[in-house]
């Protein structure tokens, strides 16, 4: 069954610690995205990648980093520089064809200890 | 600057009646519009979309209408069912710097009352 897998579902971070959220897709999609959702807000774009070994900052990239070493994988690292990391993080992918929807994983909820 | 707005944070509808969710946008470069449904602690699920060259798209109980002159998008659900209770996000897409970027509204929580 094709889809997007995010892990872990829940993650706790201590002050000053970096944590990495995993996102894997087997849809053979070229483009992948990371979003952050806060209560009462829409999804805000953190980073996106169109092809392997290439990625661009979204609207709220500060305090985050990504890599795209494989087409299937787009991990997100929340660094200690991100001062307000508590949020619901969503990974999405889409094919490169025009007018195609993004497909989302089930998200990772990150909380601060 | 909120380019995609959903001005109603919540909506309650009786089972069997029509649910109408609204969305306004400001960027005339958007050429593709989508609706997603989201349950708590899950990712959004794609529901229906419409290209800017159309003004209506229908899929079963779900119909999306696009009014480009008013920069307005709406989702109609007929008849509404209790399982439709969820948060609905509208999104708009435009190609920017060679890639498709999606801008999401803040969501409308729909509650369908049995």
Q: In what order do the strands lie in the sheet with B72-77?
A: B4-5, B19-25, B72-77, B62-67, B56-59
CA gap B93, B106 in Å, rounded:
15
How far from chain centre, in Å, is Cα B86? 12
Which of A30-44, A53-67, B56-70 shows the lowest mean pLDDT across its residues?
Answer: A30-44
- Which residues in chain A have Cβ-Cβ distances shorter than 8 Å to B89? 42-43
How far from chain centre, in Å, is Cα B35? 4
- Which residues in chain B have Cβ-Cβ distances shorter than 8 Å to A102? 34, 46, 102
- Beta-bridge mates of residue B11: B110
* Chain A closest-CA separation from residue B17 CA (Å): 26
Question: What is the mean predicted confidence (pLDDT) over B86-91?
Answer: 96
Question: What is the mean predicted confidence (pLDDT) over B97-107?
Answer: 86
Residues B101/A46, Cβ–Cβ less than 8 Å? no
pLDDT of residue B101: 85
CA gap A107, A87 in Å, rounded:
10
Question: What is the mean predicted confidence (pLDDT) over B55-77?
Answer: 97
CA gap A53, A108 in Å, rounded:
24
């Amino acid at each position: 069954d094709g889809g997007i897998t995010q892990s872990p579902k829940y993650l706790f971070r201590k002050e000053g610690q970096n944590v990495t959220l995993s996102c894997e897709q087997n849809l053979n999609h070229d483009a992948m995205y990371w979003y952050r959702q806060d209560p009462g807000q829409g999804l805000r774009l953190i980073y996106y990648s169109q092809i392997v070994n290439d990625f661009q900052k979204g609207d709220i990239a500060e305090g985050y980093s990504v890599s795209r070493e494989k087409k299937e994988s787009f991990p997100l690292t929340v660094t200690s520089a991100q001062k307000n990391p508590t949020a619901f993080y969503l990974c999405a992918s889409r094919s490169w064809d025009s007018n195609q929807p993004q497909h989302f994983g089930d998200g990772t909820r990150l909380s601060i200890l | 600057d909120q380019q995609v707005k959903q001005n109603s944070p919540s909506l309650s509808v009786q089972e069997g009646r029509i649910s109408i969710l609204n969305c306004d946008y400001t960027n005339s470069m958007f050429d593709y519009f989508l609706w997603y449904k989201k349950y708590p602690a899950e990712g959004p699920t794609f529901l229906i979309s419409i290209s800017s060259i159309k003004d209506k798209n229908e899929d079963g109980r779900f119909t999306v209408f696009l009014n480009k002159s008013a920069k307005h998008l709406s989702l109609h659900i007929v008849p509404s069912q209790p399982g439709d209770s969820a948060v609905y996000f509208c999104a708009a897409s435009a190609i920017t710097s060679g890639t498709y970027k999606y801008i999401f509204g803040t969501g409308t929580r729909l509650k369908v009352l049995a």
